[in-house]
Structure 1
Amino acid sequence: MREEEANSDCPVLGITGPYCSGKSTLAQELTRRGWVQIEVDRLGHESLARKKNEIVTEFGSAVLSPDGTSVDRKKLGSLVFSDPRRLEQLENIVHPDMKARSEELIREYRQSQDLPTGILLNAAILFKMELESLCDAVIWVSAPLPLRIIRARKRDGLSWKELFRRFSAQKKLRPQLAPGNVDMYKVDNLQKGRAVRRIERIVRDRLWNRTKPT
């Protein structure tokens, strides 16, 4: 994060980790304690609308909804998630737009008269999108694989085949891939209350004192 932003009263905390580790659950709990959340997945949906023309140019009109007014996420997904080259083409279109929108929202929250406790940037592929450059620190949320499978089955109702595909696709999402230009802390999300208290201690003891003006 740029030096002038690192001194803000409102720190930015990245939240990332593998599928069904409990990232959104922890983020929602922190919003009850004065934080605001930027859901990068949701920004991706918005980016599909903003970048509709570029997407059609790249992938053709077959990815549009029946009435042609919007990008059909299911059609687009079936095209790109089975082809790494096509997925990269899509990411080259939407990721810069999503990052720019994240920066815009951070500025808006920090300029708000009702300043939040902090800003959560919730993104499963935070490092791939290089969003760590917007963060004062990053929380890597983890949970044992059996617990993640139970959560996935309960929440999404996916078949075992689809679960295997999703878990396999995220093998590269490891905390070791974090660059050295941001502090990262691992939080085990076995129990929500304990995990939230751990995050609050990190912010208080290791982050807040650094970002708070003296």
Structure 2
Amino acid sequence: MTKVIGLTGGIATGKSTVSDYFKKIGFPIVDADKIAHEILQKKSVQKALIKQFGAEIITGKHVDRKKLGSIVFKNENALNVLNEIVQPKIRRMILKQLKHFKRNNRVVVLDAPILLEQGYQNDVDFLMVVAVDRVTEISRLKQRDSLSNVEAEERINAQMSLNDKKKLADIVIDNSGTIADTELQVLKWLENNLLVR
């Protein structure tokens, strides 16, 4: 029977490092962020977003995620409106991909930044949370997305707290060391849970 690993963490905690490792060892990945990007390209979705947030969120023919983020991460109601528009479509695509990969694989990874916030914990067998301390998280986010301290805090605070995620996790991966350290933690957990034998 196929096991689904739900991979999540805080923003900029290094979830991609773990996701890349899963790819490297041959596990198929259902990437919620990639799916979200695809959903944002749909004309019907763009139309609904323009109606709610204005035409300035479109640059060329694409949703400008940075502009949209600057609106929704300051305002919980705006974030809820965005989620009402896009999350049902994202969910349909995620469940479709999970079903597809479960046919021929012993392990599938659902990589989703807001896995818990959107209630996917019932769709996974194990919950893996990638974590770093708050100072490191803010520093990495500022550097990665060229944000101010205030903007970084807003984005982190818009998600469930990392401590709350860690309490629900089957395994917490500490990503404050080297990539090799992180990969070793993942491998040990997989071996202990008989997923790669």
- TM-score norm. by structure 2 comes to 0.80
Between stretches 153-162 and 52-61, larger displacement belongs to 52-61
**Offset at 1:66?**
6.0
Larger radius of gyration: 1
Q: Matched residues in 1 for 2:129 and 2:55: separation? A: 38
Which residue in 2 is equivalent to 1:52? Answer: 45
Which residue in 2 is equivalent to 1:4? Answer: none
Report matched runs for 1:101-116 at 5 Å. Answer: 101-112=93-104, 115=105
> Which ranges in structure 1 are unaligned for 5 or more consecutive residues?
1-6
Q: Matched residues in 2 for 1:92 and 1:86: separation? A: 10
- 1:132 and 1:207, CA in 2 relative to 1: closer, same or farther beyond 3 A? farther
Which residue in 1 is equivalent to 2:170? Answer: 184
Alignment-mate amino acid for residue 99 of structure 1: R
Which residue in 2 is equivalent to 1:3? Answer: none
Aligned counterpart for 1:199 among listed residues 183, 186, 193: 186
Between stretches 126-135 and 56-65, larger displacement belongs to 56-65
Q: Matched residues in 1 for 2:40 and 2:26: separation? A: 30
Which residue in 1 is equivalent to 2:80? Answer: 88
Report matched runs for 1:54-203 at 5 Å. Answer: 55-56=48-49, 58-59=51-52, 62=55, 65=58, 69-112=61-104, 115=105, 118-170=107-159, 172-173=161-162, 174-175=164-165, 178=168, 184-191=170-177, 192-203=179-190
- SS in structure 2 of the partner of residue 119 of structure 1: strand
- TM-score norm. by structure 1 comes to 0.75
- 1:64 and 1:162, CA in 2 relative to 1: closer, same or farther beyond 3 A? closer
> Which ranges in structure 2 are unaligned for 5 or more consecutive residues?
none
Residues 142 and 186 of structure 1 are in contact (CA less than 8 Å); yes or no, is this contact kept in structure 2?
A: yes
Residue-pair matches, total: 194
- SS in structure 1 of the partner of residue 116 of structure 2: coil
Alignment-mate amino acid for residue 171 of structure 2: Y
| RMSD, matched Cα | 2.9
